[in-house]
Structure 1
Protein backbone atom coordinates (compact mmCIF):
# COMPACT_ATOMS: atom_id res chain seq x y z
CA UNK A 1 0.00 0.00 0.00
CA UNK A 2 2.87 2.41 0.65
CA UNK A 3 3.66 2.60 -3.08
CA UNK A 4 0.10 3.47 -4.13
CA UNK A 5 -0.91 7.08 -4.41
CA UNK A 6 -4.41 8.22 -3.51
CA UNK A 7 -5.18 9.20 -7.09
CA UNK A 8 -3.97 5.82 -8.35
CA UNK A 9 -6.29 3.97 -5.94
CA UNK A 10 -9.24 6.16 -6.96
CA UNK A 11 -8.51 5.81 -10.68
CA UNK A 12 -7.89 2.05 -10.59
CA UNK A 13 -11.03 1.44 -8.53
CA UNK A 14 -13.17 3.64 -10.77
CA UNK A 15 -11.80 1.88 -13.87
CA UNK A 16 -12.75 -1.49 -12.37
CA UNK A 17 -16.24 -0.26 -11.46
CA UNK A 18 -16.67 1.26 -14.91
CA UNK A 19 -15.60 -1.98 -16.63
CA UNK A 20 -17.96 -3.98 -14.42
CA UNK A 21 -20.93 -1.70 -15.18
CA UNK A 22 -20.15 -1.68 -18.91
CA UNK A 23 -20.01 -5.50 -18.92
CA UNK A 24 -23.41 -5.65 -17.23
CA UNK A 25 -24.85 -2.98 -19.52
CA UNK A 26 -23.48 -4.84 -22.54
CA UNK A 27 -25.74 -7.77 -21.66
CA UNK A 28 -28.60 -5.40 -22.49
CA UNK A 29 -26.86 -3.81 -25.51
CA UNK A 30 -26.28 -0.68 -23.48
CA UNK A 31 -23.48 1.24 -21.76
CA UNK A 32 -22.77 2.53 -18.29
CA UNK A 33 -23.25 6.11 -19.55
CA UNK A 34 -26.72 5.24 -20.83
CA UNK A 35 -27.63 3.55 -17.54
CA UNK A 36 -26.41 6.55 -15.55
CA UNK A 37 -28.44 8.86 -17.77
CA UNK A 38 -31.56 6.71 -17.37
CA UNK A 39 -31.16 6.92 -13.59
CA UNK A 40 -30.76 10.70 -13.77
CA UNK A 41 -34.03 11.30 -15.62
CA UNK A 42 -37.19 11.66 -13.52
CA UNK A 43 -39.29 8.66 -14.64
CA UNK A 44 -42.61 10.39 -13.95
CA UNK A 45 -42.25 14.01 -15.02
CA UNK A 46 -39.09 14.02 -17.12
CA UNK A 47 -36.06 16.23 -16.59
CA UNK A 48 -35.21 19.54 -18.24
CA UNK A 49 -32.32 19.01 -20.63
CA UNK A 50 -30.52 22.03 -19.16
CA UNK A 51 -30.41 20.50 -15.68
CA UNK A 52 -29.46 16.99 -16.78
CA UNK A 53 -25.79 17.76 -17.57
CA UNK A 54 -25.05 19.50 -14.25
CA UNK A 55 -26.94 16.78 -12.36
CA UNK A 56 -24.69 14.17 -13.97
CA UNK A 57 -21.50 16.24 -13.90
CA UNK A 58 -21.20 16.04 -17.69
CA UNK A 59 -20.41 18.52 -20.42
CA UNK A 60 -23.26 19.36 -22.79
CA UNK A 61 -21.48 17.94 -25.85
CA UNK A 62 -20.94 14.52 -24.25
CA UNK A 63 -24.50 14.45 -22.96
CA UNK A 64 -25.89 15.42 -26.39
CA UNK A 65 -24.26 12.36 -27.98
CA UNK A 66 -25.64 10.06 -25.29
CA UNK A 67 -29.14 11.55 -25.57
CA UNK A 68 -29.10 11.23 -29.37
CA UNK A 69 -28.13 7.56 -29.06
CA UNK A 70 -30.82 6.98 -26.42
CA UNK A 71 -33.42 8.64 -28.62
CA UNK A 72 -32.37 6.48 -31.58
CA UNK A 73 -32.77 3.37 -29.39
CA UNK A 74 -36.25 4.41 -28.26
CA UNK A 75 -35.30 4.98 -24.61
CA UNK A 76 -36.23 8.66 -24.44
CA UNK A 77 -38.25 11.31 -26.21
CA UNK A 78 -38.04 15.08 -26.06
CA UNK A 79 -40.89 17.53 -25.63
CA UNK A 80 -41.26 21.23 -24.97
CA UNK A 81 -41.23 22.06 -21.30
CA UNK A 82 -44.78 23.21 -20.43
CA UNK A 83 -43.38 25.36 -17.60
CA UNK A 84 -40.73 27.01 -19.79
CA UNK A 85 -41.30 27.04 -23.54
CA UNK A 86 -37.60 27.78 -24.14
CA UNK A 87 -36.43 24.47 -22.70
CA UNK A 88 -36.93 20.82 -23.52
CA UNK A 89 -37.94 17.99 -21.20
CA UNK A 90 -36.24 14.63 -21.57
CA UNK A 91 -38.76 11.86 -20.88
CA UNK A 92 -38.41 8.11 -20.65
CA UNK A 93 -40.37 5.88 -23.01
CA UNK A 94 -41.88 2.69 -21.61
CA UNK A 95 -38.77 0.88 -22.87
CA UNK A 96 -36.62 3.54 -21.20
CA UNK A 97 -38.44 2.96 -17.91
CA UNK A 98 -37.84 -0.80 -18.22
CA UNK A 99 -34.14 -0.24 -18.86
CA UNK A 100 -34.00 2.27 -16.00
CA UNK A 101 -35.21 -0.50 -13.67
CA UNK A 102 -32.45 -2.78 -14.98
CA UNK A 103 -29.89 -0.04 -14.29
CA UNK A 104 -31.33 0.59 -10.84
CA UNK A 105 -31.17 -3.10 -9.92
CA UNK A 106 -27.57 -3.26 -11.15
CA UNK A 107 -26.51 -0.31 -8.98
CA UNK A 108 -28.40 -1.61 -5.95
CA UNK A 109 -26.78 -5.05 -6.36
CA UNK A 110 -23.32 -3.46 -6.43
CA UNK A 111 -24.11 -1.53 -3.24
CA UNK A 112 -25.53 -4.61 -1.49
CA UNK A 113 -22.48 -6.76 -2.25
CA UNK A 114 -19.99 -4.07 -1.23
CA UNK A 115 -21.89 -3.36 1.99
CA UNK A 116 -21.90 -7.08 2.78
CA UNK A 117 -18.09 -7.07 2.70
CA UNK A 118 -17.33 -3.94 4.72
CA UNK A 119 -18.39 -2.57 8.07
CA UNK A 120 -20.58 0.49 8.61
CA UNK A 121 -17.50 2.24 10.04
CA UNK A 122 -15.50 1.51 6.89
CA UNK A 123 -18.32 2.78 4.68
CA UNK A 124 -18.67 5.93 6.79
CA UNK A 125 -14.91 6.52 6.58
CA UNK A 126 -14.98 5.99 2.82
CA UNK A 127 -17.68 8.62 2.36
CA UNK A 128 -15.89 11.01 4.72
CA UNK A 129 -12.65 10.66 2.76
CA UNK A 130 -14.32 11.14 -0.63
CA UNK A 131 -16.15 14.21 0.70
CA UNK A 132 -12.88 15.71 1.94
CA UNK A 133 -11.18 15.03 -1.41
CA UNK A 134 -14.08 16.63 -3.29
CA UNK A 135 -14.09 19.64 -0.96
CA UNK A 136 -10.34 20.11 -1.37
CA UNK A 137 -10.74 20.10 -5.14
CA UNK A 138 -13.81 22.36 -5.23
CA UNK A 139 -12.27 24.81 -2.76
CA UNK A 140 -9.05 24.79 -4.85
CA UNK A 141 -6.97 23.86 -1.83
CA UNK A 142 -4.70 21.44 -3.66
CA UNK A 143 -3.28 23.64 -6.38
CA UNK A 144 -3.38 27.30 -5.45
CA UNK A 145 -1.69 30.33 -6.94
CA UNK A 146 1.08 30.25 -4.35
CA UNK A 147 1.08 26.41 -4.40
CA UNK A 148 0.97 26.28 -0.60
CA UNK A 149 -1.26 23.52 0.78
CA UNK A 150 -4.24 24.97 2.62
CA UNK A 151 -5.74 23.18 5.62
CA UNK A 152 -9.16 21.58 5.27
CA UNK A 153 -11.83 21.88 7.96
CA UNK A 154 -11.34 18.19 8.83
CA UNK A 155 -7.54 18.23 8.75
CA UNK A 156 -5.87 16.26 11.50
CA UNK A 157 -2.52 17.94 10.86
CA UNK A 158 -1.60 21.56 11.38
CA UNK A 159 0.17 23.17 8.45
Structure 2
Protein backbone atom coordinates (compact mmCIF):
# COMPACT_ATOMS: atom_id res chain seq x y z
CA UNK A 1 0.00 0.00 0.00
CA UNK A 2 1.73 3.15 -1.26
CA UNK A 3 -0.19 5.62 0.88
CA UNK A 4 -0.97 3.91 4.17
CA UNK A 5 -4.14 5.01 5.91
CA UNK A 6 -4.14 5.95 9.58
CA UNK A 7 -6.23 2.91 10.51
CA UNK A 8 -3.81 0.64 8.60
CA UNK A 9 -0.84 2.05 10.53
CA UNK A 10 -2.64 1.65 13.87
CA UNK A 11 -3.77 -1.90 13.07
CA UNK A 12 -0.39 -3.05 11.73
CA UNK A 13 1.45 -1.53 14.70
CA UNK A 14 -0.91 -3.06 17.25
CA UNK A 15 -0.68 -6.45 15.53
CA UNK A 16 3.12 -6.26 15.66
CA UNK A 17 3.03 -5.33 19.37
CA UNK A 18 0.55 -8.12 20.13
CA UNK A 19 2.67 -10.65 18.21
CA UNK A 20 5.78 -9.50 20.10
CA UNK A 21 4.04 -9.81 23.50
CA UNK A 22 2.58 -13.21 22.61
CA UNK A 23 5.98 -14.51 21.51
CA UNK A 24 7.53 -13.36 24.78
CA UNK A 25 4.63 -14.68 26.88
CA UNK A 26 4.78 -18.08 25.18
CA UNK A 27 8.25 -18.56 26.71
CA UNK A 28 6.45 -18.62 30.08
CA UNK A 29 3.38 -20.63 28.97
CA UNK A 30 1.29 -17.49 28.75
CA UNK A 31 -0.23 -15.03 26.33
CA UNK A 32 -0.61 -11.29 26.02
CA UNK A 33 -4.23 -11.54 27.27
CA UNK A 34 -3.10 -13.44 30.36
CA UNK A 35 -0.34 -10.91 31.05
CA UNK A 36 -2.63 -7.91 30.71
CA UNK A 37 -5.29 -9.58 32.86
CA UNK A 38 -2.72 -10.25 35.61
CA UNK A 39 -1.63 -6.61 35.45
CA UNK A 40 -5.26 -5.53 35.83
CA UNK A 41 -5.68 -7.38 39.13
CA UNK A 42 -4.58 -5.66 42.34
CA UNK A 43 -1.85 -7.89 43.71
CA UNK A 44 -2.91 -7.47 47.34
CA UNK A 45 -6.55 -6.39 47.57
CA UNK A 46 -8.06 -8.37 44.72
CA UNK A 47 -10.22 -6.82 42.04
CA UNK A 48 -13.91 -7.08 41.13
CA UNK A 49 -14.24 -9.04 37.90
CA UNK A 50 -16.25 -6.18 36.37
CA UNK A 51 -13.36 -3.76 36.92
CA UNK A 52 -10.93 -6.06 35.09
CA UNK A 53 -12.86 -5.94 31.81
CA UNK A 54 -13.04 -2.14 32.05
CA UNK A 55 -9.30 -1.84 32.68
CA UNK A 56 -8.51 -4.13 29.77
CA UNK A 57 -11.08 -2.68 27.38
CA UNK A 58 -12.47 -6.18 26.95
CA UNK A 59 -15.97 -7.51 26.47
CA UNK A 60 -17.21 -9.42 29.54
CA UNK A 61 -17.60 -12.65 27.53
CA UNK A 62 -13.95 -12.54 26.41
CA UNK A 63 -12.90 -11.80 29.99
CA UNK A 64 -14.84 -14.83 31.23
CA UNK A 65 -12.74 -17.09 28.99
CA UNK A 66 -9.52 -15.38 30.10
CA UNK A 67 -10.43 -15.69 33.79
CA UNK A 68 -11.27 -19.37 33.29
CA UNK A 69 -7.82 -19.90 31.74
CA UNK A 70 -6.15 -18.00 34.61
CA UNK A 71 -8.00 -20.14 37.12
CA UNK A 72 -7.11 -23.39 35.30
CA UNK A 73 -3.44 -22.36 35.31
CA UNK A 74 -3.58 -21.68 39.05
CA UNK A 75 -2.91 -17.95 38.64
CA UNK A 76 -6.09 -16.63 40.29
CA UNK A 77 -8.77 -17.59 42.76
CA UNK A 78 -12.30 -16.22 42.95
CA UNK A 79 -13.94 -15.21 46.23
CA UNK A 80 -17.33 -13.70 46.98
CA UNK A 81 -17.18 -9.97 47.48
CA UNK A 82 -17.86 -9.43 51.21
CA UNK A 83 -19.33 -5.99 50.47
CA UNK A 84 -21.59 -7.21 47.66
CA UNK A 85 -22.71 -10.83 47.82
CA UNK A 86 -23.64 -10.79 44.13
CA UNK A 87 -20.11 -9.87 43.06
CA UNK A 88 -16.86 -11.77 42.85
CA UNK A 89 -13.37 -10.58 43.71
CA UNK A 90 -10.43 -11.97 41.79
CA UNK A 91 -7.21 -12.58 43.74
CA UNK A 92 -3.78 -13.56 42.47
CA UNK A 93 -2.24 -16.76 43.77
CA UNK A 94 1.47 -16.80 44.58
CA UNK A 95 2.11 -18.16 41.07
CA UNK A 96 -0.14 -15.43 39.68
CA UNK A 97 1.91 -12.79 41.50
CA UNK A 98 5.11 -14.22 40.02
CA UNK A 99 3.64 -14.21 36.49
CA UNK A 100 2.30 -10.68 37.09
CA UNK A 101 5.84 -9.50 37.87
CA UNK A 102 7.10 -11.11 34.63
CA UNK A 103 4.35 -9.28 32.73
CA UNK A 104 5.17 -6.00 34.45
CA UNK A 105 8.88 -6.36 33.62
CA UNK A 106 8.03 -7.09 29.98
CA UNK A 107 5.77 -4.02 29.64
CA UNK A 108 8.33 -1.79 31.36
CA UNK A 109 11.09 -3.05 29.05
CA UNK A 110 8.95 -2.35 25.96
CA UNK A 111 8.26 1.19 27.18
CA UNK A 112 11.92 1.83 28.04
CA UNK A 113 13.16 0.64 24.64
CA UNK A 114 10.57 2.76 22.80
CA UNK A 115 11.49 5.80 24.92
CA UNK A 116 15.20 5.23 24.18
CA UNK A 117 14.49 5.21 20.45
CA UNK A 118 11.81 7.89 20.10
CA UNK A 119 12.52 11.48 21.10
CA UNK A 120 10.28 12.79 23.90
CA UNK A 121 8.64 15.37 21.65
CA UNK A 122 7.66 12.75 19.06
CA UNK A 123 6.35 10.43 21.76
CA UNK A 124 4.22 13.25 23.20
CA UNK A 125 2.80 13.95 19.73
CA UNK A 126 2.01 10.25 19.30
CA UNK A 127 0.18 10.18 22.65
CA UNK A 128 -1.73 13.37 21.80
CA UNK A 129 -2.79 12.00 18.40
CA UNK A 130 -3.93 8.71 19.98
CA UNK A 131 -5.97 10.64 22.56
CA UNK A 132 -7.59 12.76 19.84
CA UNK A 133 -8.50 9.65 17.84
CA UNK A 134 -9.97 8.01 20.95
CA UNK A 135 -11.96 11.15 21.76
CA UNK A 136 -13.30 11.41 18.20
CA UNK A 137 -14.45 7.80 18.38
CA UNK A 138 -15.92 8.13 21.90
CA UNK A 139 -17.81 11.27 20.91
CA UNK A 140 -19.06 9.55 17.73
CA UNK A 141 -17.64 12.33 15.56
CA UNK A 142 -16.50 9.96 12.81
CA UNK A 143 -19.58 7.85 12.13
Distance of 1:114 and 1:55 partners within structure 2 = 23
Name 1:3's counterpart in structure 2: 3
Distance of 2:5 and 2:111 partners within structure 1 = 25
Name 2:77's counterpart in structure 1: 77
Name 1:20's counterpart in structure 2: 20
Q: CA RMSD in A?
A: 1.1
Structure 1 residue 68: deviation in Å? 0.4
Name 1:157's counterpart in structure 2: none
Name 2:48's counterpart in structure 1: 48
Name 1:96's counterpart in structure 2: 96
Query: Which structure has the higher relative contact order (CA within 8 Å, separation 6+)?
Result: 2
Distance of 2:52 and 2:99 partners within structure 1 = 18
Structure 1 residue 114: deviation in Å? 0.4
How many pairs does the alignment contain?
Answer: 143
Structure 1 residue 86: deviation in Å? 1.3
- Give the TM-score taking structure 2 as reference length: 0.97
Structure 1 residue 60: deviation in Å? 0.9
Name 1:61's counterpart in structure 2: 61
Structure 1 residue 138: deviation in Å? 0.3
- 1:81-132 superposed Cα distances (whole Å, 9 cap, x missing partner): 1121110000000000000000000000000000000111011001000000
More helix by share: 2
Structure 1: 5+ residue runs without aligned partners?
Answer: 144-159
Question: Which has the larger Rg?
Answer: 1
Distance of 1:81 and 1:115 partners within structure 2 = 40
Structure 2: 5+ residue runs without aligned partners?
Answer: none
List aligned pairs for 1:142-157, cutoff 5 A.
142-143=142-143
- Structure 1 runs of 4+ aligned residues shifted over 4 Å read none
- Give the TM-score taking structure 1 as reference length: 0.88
